[in-house]
Amino acid sequence: MIMTEEELRKLLRVLLNAGIEAAILLGFPNIPLIKPPAAESMKTLVVTSMLNDIQVTKKGRKHSILLDGKVKEINEVTVGGVGGVDPHQNIDALIKNREKPEVIISYFPAKGCGDYIPQLDVRKGLGELKELIIHVKPATLITGGTTNEECRMHETLVLTVARRSYLIIDLFSNGEPESFRWLKLPSH
């Protein structure tokens, strides 16, 4: 989904007004990357999509909002990111990182959960995410996917978020959501 700067600012204002404390944008919109205005009041991070380029990652690093291949803390929960620009490098970085994230956010789904495309009868998930789960042992993996789906892989809760949807997580306890729900973005 391509989002304008104005649409992004509006979305962040809505989240902020709803009392949301943190937002992780999965598949960052193709807009002039700016430090989101809500970032002062609400922790905002981004995970790139496969449609982004090196300029997006460069600007994201400049504003300290890029999560790809990094581990950051949000409200006492450690979070790592696997972006769409260079997922294999991000996976290697998270495996090698001494700080193991409780939650991992990935642009791509894990193979076998939320990745099935029935029209083509194929799975589009990354098998390497299973390796990441085995090495890092996160409590939760949140990914983009073809459907809103919940499953488990090696004791890790995997939540996939379909296109034009978002996932609201109320609280984390030991890296796993106490409650969550999927909501659809309104169509234009």
Mind giving me the DSSP string for 97-138?
-SS--SEEEESSPBTTSS-EETTTTEE--BTHHHHHHHHH--
Residue 187, pLDDT > 90, answer: no
Q: Three-state SS for 89?
A: helix
N- to C-terminal Cα distance for the chain? 11
Q: What is the pLDDT of residue 28?
A: 60
Q: What is the pLDDT of residue 15?
A: 77
**Structural domains in the chain (count):** 1
Q: How far apart are CA 159 and CA 145, in angstroms?
A: 9
Average pLDDT, the chain: 83
Question: Between 19 and 121, whose confidence is greater?
Answer: 121
* β-pair type (176-177, 43-47): unpaired
Residue 59, pLDDT > 60, answer: yes
Residue 41 maps to which CATH number? 3.60.21.10
pTM of the model: 0.85
Q: What is the mean pLDDT of residues 92-113?
A: 93
Using pLDDT thresholds of 50, 70 and 90, give the confidence band for residue 118. confident
Q: How far apart are CA 125 and CA 146, in angstroms?
A: 10
Range of the domain at 64: 5-184
The answer to whether the beta carbons of residues 5 and 37 sit under 8 Å apart is: no
CA angle 81-82-83, nearest 5°? 110
